[in-house]
Structure 1
Amino acid sequence: MRRRLLSSTLLVAVIGVLLLGIPLGVAVNRLIEEEATQELSSHAKSLLGEVEYARIQDQPVDEQQLERKYSDLYIQIYAKGTPPQVITVGTEPPESQKMTEDAQSENGVYVAVSRDKTGVEREVRAWLFLILGLAAAALAVAVGLAIVQSRRLTLPLSDLAMIAERLGSGDARPSKHRYGIQELDRVAEVLDRSATRISDLLAREREFATDASHQLRTPLTGLTMRLEEIVAAADEPGIVKEEGEAAIVQAERLTAVIDELLATARRQRQAQTEIVELDGLLDQQLIEWGPAFRRAGRRLSLVGARGLQALGTAGGIGQVISTLLENSLKHGDGTVTMTTCARDRSIVIEVADEGKGIPDDLAPRVFERNVSGGGSTGLGLPLARALAAADGGRLELVRSRPAAFAFFLRQVGDTGRNRVVRGPA
C-alpha cells in the first residue's frame, strides 16, 4: 500500500508539473523575446528622434557618441539628401543570430537597430533551468509528503490489524488508540466497542458458569437428600414410593433450573404474566426442605394467607425461595418461618429464622456478588434478586437481626408492568 501511495502521488505530481511547467516555459520564452523586440523597437524610435533633431539643428550625427551609448547594438541610419547620408555604428551580428527592428520618418530618415540573439537565448535558458529546478523541487516535496502521508496511513492500519488480530486471539482489551484521521478513528472506535462487547460476553459466560455451578448445587442437594431417604426407607414400600416421586420432582426441578440458567445466559429470559398458585409451590418447598431441617434438629413452617396467586414464573419463584431456605439452613438458627400475605399491590413471601442475623457492616452489601459472611460463594442472593427482578418482583432484606427476607410478587391483574426482561435486572 505504501508503494502504491508513493507511485500514485508521484504520478499526480508529474502530471501537475507538466501541465504547469510546459505552458510556463513557453510563456517565459515568448515573453523574453517580446521584451527584447520591444526594447529594440524603442531604441530605433529613440535614434530616429535624435537624427531628426540633429537635422533640424543642421548638426551632424555624432557616431562616437552613438557607439558609446549603444555599444551592444548594430545601428544603420539612412537619411535622404544631396548627397544621401548613410551611418553605420557597431558590429553587425551573424545573420542567423540577428534581431532587427526599424523606424522611418516622413522626412526620409530610416533607422535599423540590430542585436545578437545569443543574450536573449541565454536568458531564456536561465529561466527554463529555473523552472526545471522548481519542478524538481516540487517533485521532491511531493515525494516527501507522499512518504509522510503513507506512513501516517499505513502505520495506523498496521496497528488496527494488530488490534483485530489480538481480538481474534481472545485479548478483548480496548486499545483507546486514535490517529487524527476521521475514517481510521471511526474504525478504531468500532474495534473498541467490539472489544468491550466481547469482554462483556466473556464476563457473562464466566458469570453463567459460576451461577450454574452454584444454582445447580441446590437441586442436586435436594435430590441427594431424597435418594438418601429412599435408601433409609427401603424396608417401607409406601415411603419408598413417596420419596421416589419426590426425587423425580427434584430431577424435574434440576432440568428447569438448567433451562433458567441457559435462558439467562442468552439474555432472553422473559417475565410473562403467568398465574402461579403459591400454595402448591410453597408446599413443595416444605416437602423438599423439611427432611434437611429435621436432620439439623430444626423446624420449617409455613404460616399466613392461603390461596394466594401471583404473576411470575414458577421456576423463578421456586428458585428464589429455595435460595432463601438454603441460606437459612446454612447460616441461620432455630425455626425458619415462611409467611405469606397479600398487600395493596403485591404478594409478599417472607422467610425469617431465629439466628444471630447478618452483621451490620455486611447487611448493606448482602446482595452484591462474591460478598458473604459465612464462607460461601456469595452468589446465591445476588442471583436470587436477579431472578426476582426478572419476574417483575423484588427481593429485599427487611430485618438483619434475626435475618428476614421479603419476596415481593405482582398480584394477579397487575398487567401494567408486564414486559420482557433481557437478562438479570
Structure 2
Amino acid sequence: MRRRLIQSTLAVVLVVIAVFGVSLVIVETRTISNSAQERVDSEALRLASIVDSRILGDENVTARVLQDQVAGERYARVEIPGRAPIEIGDKPADEVIRATARGEEGETVTVEESRSSVTREVGRTLLIIGAVALLAVIAAVLLAVRQANRLASPLTDLAETAERLGSGDPRPRHKRYGVPELDRVADVLDGSAERIARMLTAERRLAADASHQLRTPLTALSMRLEEITLTDDPDIVKEEATIALTQVERLTDVVERLLTNSRDPRTGSAVFFDLDEVIHQQLAEWRPAYRSAGRAIVSSGKRHLRAVGTPGAVAQVLAALIENSLMHGGGTVALRTRVTGNQAVIEVTDEGPGVPADLGARIFERAISGRNSTGIGLAVARDLAEADGGRLEMLQAKPPVFGLFLSRTAADPSPEDGEPESTIR
C-alpha cells in the first residue's frame, strides 16, 4: 500500500510538472527572445537619434565617437548618404538578432546581437525551472511517504487488533489515528472487543456457576445411591430411590435454570409456593452429610408461610447457605422462618466462628472466600435471590446469620394469625 500511494502521488506531481513546466518553458523562451529583440530595437533607435543630432550640429560622426554608445557584445553599422559606412564592434559570425532604424537625415543604423546571449539566458531560466521541479518532486515524495505511513501504519494496527480478536484476546486498544474513517473502524473493533469480552466472561461465569450449582445435587444424589448399595431392606431402597429421583428432578431444574439465565438473566418463573416444602426438602437432602460430620441441622419458626419466587432457585440459595455452614461453620445449623412487614425471611445460622472481619460485606463478591473454596456459592445465591425479586443479606457476622428475604402473597395471614413457632429436627 505504501508503494502504491507513493507511486500515485509521484505520478500526479510529474504530470503537473510536465504540463505546467513545458508551458512555462515556452512562455519564458518567448519572453526572453522578445525582450532581447526589444533591447536591440531600442539600441538602433537611440543610435539613430544620436547620429541625427551630430549631423544637425555639424559634428563628426566616426566609429570612435559612437564606440561608447554601443554595448560591447553588439555590432552596429551606420550608413550616411555620401559617406563611407561606419562599423562599430565585431560582426557576429553566428545567428543574430537584428534591428534597423532610419534617421531624419537619411542615415540607416543597423544593430546586431548574437543569439547566443539569448540562448544562455534561456538556459539559466530552464535550469531554475528544473531545480524548482526537482525540489517539487522531492517534496512530493517526502509528503507521499509521510501520508503513506500515516495511512498504512493505522491499517497495520487495525489488522493486528482484528487478529488478536480472532485469537481470543478481546482487550480493546482505545487507540485513534486522527483520520475519521480509520477512527470509525477502530471504534467498531473496540466495540466488538468489548462485546466479545462480555460474552467470554458470561461463558466463563456460566461454566463456574454450573460446576458449583451442580456439585451439591450430584453429591446428594451420590450419597443416596451409596445408601441404596449399603442396605438390603426393600423399603429403605424404595425410600432412598424416591428421594434420589426427587434429586434428579432438582438437578434437571438446576440445568434448565442455568441455561435460561445464560440466554436471558431477566427471565424468571416466580410463583407462590410453600416455604415449608422447600425447607423440608433441604433438611432431607443435607441430614446425611451433617450426620456424617457429627453435626445436626434443624428448622424452626413460622409454619405454612407462602412466598413469591422460584422454588428451585430458593432451594439452590438455601443449599448454598447450608453447604457454606457445613464447610466453614460449626455446631448445629438452624433454619428459622419469620415474617417482617410484607416479606418472609428464612435465616440460616450456625455456631461457628462466623465471617472474618476482613471480608465483611465482600462476602458476596465472586472469588472472595475465607478458606480454600471457589468463592462462587454466595455470589450465585445472591444473584438467584435477586432474579426472583428477593434479596440475600448477611444479618450478623458472629455467629453468622444469613437472611433470604422473599415477598409474601397479599392473601397470606398476618404474623399473628399464623401457626405458632415449632422446631423440626
How far apart, in 2, do the equivalents of 1:299 and 1:145 lie? 81
Whether 1:25 aligns to 2:16 is no
Aligned counterpart for 1:258 among listed residues 255, 258, 262: 255
Corresponding residue SS for 1:10: helix
What is the alpha-carbon distance in structure 1 between the residues aligned to residue 391 and residue 12 of structure 2? 69
Alpha-carbon distance between aligned partners in 2 of 1:380 and 1:55, rounded to the nearest angstrom: 129
Q: How does 1:363-374 map to 2 (within 5 A)?
A: 363-374=360-371
The aligned amino acid for 2:21 is G
> How far is the alpha carbon of 1:109 from its aligned partner?
4.8
Paired residues of 1:208 and 1:261 also in contact (CA < 8 A): yes
How has the CA–CA distance of structure 1 residues 125 and 303 changed in structure 2, closer, same or farther, with 3 Å as cutoff? same
**1:301 CA displacement:** 0.8
Q: CA deviation at 1:282?
A: 3.0
- Structure 2 counterparts to residues 23-422 of structure 1, below 5 A: 23-70=23-70, 71-78=72-79, 83=82, 86-94=85-93, 97-104=95-102, 108-175=106-173, 181-231=179-229, 234-237=232-235, 239-266=236-263, 268-272=264-268, 274-279=270-275, 280-295=277-292, 296-304=294-302, 306-310=304-308, 312-412=309-409
2: distance between equivalents of 1:47 and 1:412? Answer: 127
Q: Quote the Cα distance in structure 2 between the aligned partners of 1:411 and 1:79.
A: 137
Range moving further from structure 2, 202-211 or 14-23: 202-211
Is 1:341–1:349's contact at 8 Å kept on the other side of the alignment?
Answer: yes
Q: Cα distance 1:261–1:170, how it changes in 2: closer, same or farther (>3 A)?
A: same
**How far apart are 1:374 and its partner, in Å?**
3.9
**SS of match in other structure, 1:366:** helix
Aligned partner letter, 1:44: A
SS of the equivalent of 1:247 reads: helix
Mapped partners of 2:300, 2:34: distance in 1: 118
SS in 1 for 2:286: helix
Q: CA deviation at 1:36?
A: 0.8
Stretches of structure 2 lacking an aligned partner (at least 5 in a row)? 411-425
Query: Which amino acid is the alignment partner of residue 25 of structure 2?
Result: G
Aligned 8 A contact 2:338 2:346 in 1: yes
| SS in structure 2 of the partner of residue 339 of structure 1 | strand
Offset at residue 129 of structure 1 (A): 2.8
CA RMSD of aligned residues (A): 3.0
Task: Name the aligned partner's letter for residue 64 of structure 2.
Answer: Q
Q: Deviations over 1:341-363 (max 9, x none)?
A: 44445433222223332222233
CA distance in 1 between partners of 2:135 and 2:357 (Å): 80
Letter in 2 for 1:30: R
Which whole-Å CA distance do the structure 2 matches of 1:410 and 1:314 have between them?
13
Change beyond 3 A, Cα 1:392–1:89: same
Letter in 2 for 1:141: A
Structure 2 CA distance for aligned equivalents of residues 354 and 319 of structure 1: 22
Q: Contact 1:308 / 1:342 at 8 angstroms: preserved in 2?
A: no
CA offset at residue 117 of structure 1? Answer: 1.0
Q: Tell me if structure 1 keeps the 8 A contact 2:77–2:86.
A: yes
CA distance in 2, matches of 1:367, 1:125: 89
Change beyond 3 A, Cα 1:49–1:252: same
Q: Work out whether residues 51 and 61 of structure 2, in 8 Å CA contact, stay in contact via their aligned partners in 1.
A: yes
Shift of 1:149: 3.8
**Cα distance in structure 2, aligned partners of 1:221 and 1:65:** 134
Q: Distance in 2 between matches of 1:144 and 1:98?
A: 45
Alpha-carbon distance between aligned partners in 2 of 1:411 and 1:58, rounded to the nearest angstrom = 141
Shift of 1:26: 1.0
Structure 2 CA distance, aligned partners of 1:156 and 1:122?
51
Range that drifts further, 83-92 or 107-116: 83-92
Assess, with a 3 A threshold, how the Cα gap between structure 1 residues 358 and 5 changes in structure 2: closer, same or farther.
same
1:74: how far off? Answer: 2.4
Q: What is the CA distance between 1:251 and its match in structure 2?
A: 0.7
How far 1:30 sits from its partner (Å)? 1.3
- Note if contact 2:307-2:406 (Cα within 8 Å) is conserved in structure 1: no
Q: Runs of 5+ in structure 1 lacking a partner?
A: 414-425
Deviations 1:268-323 (A, max 9, x none): 2224363231333333323333444455341321422524231x333322211111
Q: How many residues align?
A: 407
Shift of 1:204: 3.6
Q: Secondary structure at the match of 1:397?
A: strand
Q: Which of 326-335 and 249-258 deviates more?
A: 326-335
Q: 1:181 Cα deviation (Å)? A: 4.8
CA distance in 1, matches of 2:247, 2:269: 25
The answer to whether the 8 A contact 1:275-1:412 is kept is no
Match of 1:216, SS state, is: helix
Task: Find the residue that maps to 2:364 and give its secondary structure.
Answer: coil
Q: Distance in 1 between the 2:230 and 2:204 partners? A: 39
